[in-house]
Amino acid sequence: MNIRILSPGLLGVVLLVSTASGASAAPQANPPVPILAERKSVEGVVPVSGPKIHFPEMEFSFGTVKPGEVVRHDFKVVNLGDETLQITEVRPSCGCTTAGDWTRVLKPQESGIIPIQLDTGRFKGDLTKTVTITSNDLSQKQVMLKIIGTIWEPIRLSSTYVIFSSVLDPETPESKSITISNQMGQPVEITDVQVQSEFFSAKLKTLDPGREFELLVTTVPPLRDGTNRGTITMKTSNPDVPTLSLSAYATVLAAVQVIPPKIVLPAGEMSSPVKRYVTVVNRRAGDLVVSDLKMTFGGVDVSATEVQQGKRVTIALTFPAGFKIPGSETLVLEGKTNRPELPEFKVPISYIQTP
């Protein structure tokens, strides 16, 4: 038997065996695996029907960076389908985020990248940005990617907003607090707290001298119905951050409210009776009484039920079969309350507009 060892330059070491009689070599038991099959094995997936977009990473965290630093990241994208994937659009959520020249066409089992760049120049604190990817994958035409992280600040506010939402009693003070943290090695002083609004007050408390503070923001009654706004500023001993500011909002719900403010009916003549409901809500002290209910056009049954004593009344409107508002008529539900905040009310009624 003659044995030859081929050159090491060839892939691996192959032994060729022949007999003295010159018989041909035996066929290989394991033929070479095609590159595409190797890629499938690495991905560990079985192709699905049609183009199939897949992102191994849907969210990228860049950690903590300094203000103005540019963050760059390549999102890997894979076509797990058995047809060509076409990525037609990459749309960032704002102008601070841009997309580079991404891989637009991917054959089955191929991978590519979508490069994203984020300019952090005008941001502070925690940040989340999104990028929407559109492709010809019918099972998910759009995919949303996220970029998250924190923009480092020498002095950090836990929030730059203090929001009092859905205030029910404008005569009762409410308080919320934010934390102010010094991220520098040197201690800092915070002084001269100023509030530019008659609707809020602010008081500073030291939690850890030179390092951490608490700002307590309190509403100052009486608040107005709707949104009350204010700005709070402070001075610091850090020359890089001489002032801090935040905004305060308090939204007071109406004392007495009619919900919904208008009624919309199906277009045309009604084939069967239709019911609609209107609720009158009292959010202040004292009882609510609703009276003198009437329609500006006849044929509609109107009834009222007190569902919460002194606080909530529901009005039921029943439009009979065959009802239709004449083109020249305006249909309105009218009523009165005993509340000075809303002595009377009107609810217009119209049809759904058809093309």
Cβ-contact 127, 146 below 8 angstroms? no
Domain that holds residue 162: 155-252
* Residue finishing a domain among 122, 151, 180: 151
Would 172 be classed as within a structural domain? yes
The CA distance from 215 to 128, in Å, is 25
**Cα(first)–Cα(last) distance of the chain, in Å?**
92
Whether residue 274 sits in one domain with residue 323: yes
User: What local confidence, expressed as pLDDT, does residue 355 receive?
Assistant: 56
The CA distance from 344 to 337, in Å, is 6
User: What local confidence, expressed as pLDDT, does residue 269 receive?
Assistant: 85
Low-confidence ranges of the chain (pLDDT < 70): 1-46, 327-328, 353-355
The domain total for the chain is 3
Would 33 be classed as within a structural domain? no
Whether residue 325 sits in one domain with residue 244: no
Mind giving me the DSSP string for 90-133? EEESSTTEEE-S---EE-TT-EEEEEEEEE-TT--EEEEEEEEE
* Residue finishing a domain among 221, 252, 283: 252
User: What local confidence, expressed as pLDDT, does residue 352 receive?
Assistant: 75
- Show the CA angle centred on residue 321, arms to residues 315 and 327, nearest 5°: 85
In this structure, which amino acid lies at residue 57?
E
Would 323 be classed as within a structural domain? yes
Would 12 be classed as within a structural domain? no
Whether residue 318 sits in one domain with residue 235: no
Run of H or E residues at 199: none
Tokens of 243: 């002032």
CATH number of the domain encompassing residue 299: 2.60.40.10
Exposure of 298 by Cβ count < 10 A (0-12 exposed, 13-18 middle, 19+ buried)?
A: exposed
215 backbone dihedrals φ, ψ, rounded to 5°: -110, 120
Tokens of 256: 């007495």
The CA distance from 114 to 73, in Å, is 8
User: What local confidence, expressed as pLDDT, does residue 320 receive?
Assistant: 93
Would 5 be classed as within a structural domain? no
User: What local confidence, expressed as pLDDT, does residue 46 receive?
Assistant: 67
Tokens of 128: 């989340």
| Among 325, 333, 334, CA closest to 352 | 325
Cα-based torsion angle of the residue sequence 295, 298, 300, 303 in order, rounded to the nearest 10 degrees: 50
Would 64 be classed as within a structural domain? yes
Tokens of 304: 């009222």
- The b-or-e profile of 262-277 (16+ CB within 10 A means b, else e) is ebebeeeeeeeeeebe
32 backbone dihedrals φ, ψ, rounded to 5°: -60, 145
Cβ-contact 125, 67 below 8 angstroms? no
User: What local confidence, expressed as pLDDT, does residue 353 receive?
Assistant: 64
| Among 85, 97, 26, CA closest to 53 | 85
Whether residue 140 sits in one domain with residue 63: yes
| Among 152, 148, 179, 176, CA closest to 162 | 176
User: What local confidence, expressed as pLDDT, does residue 1 receive?
Assistant: 37
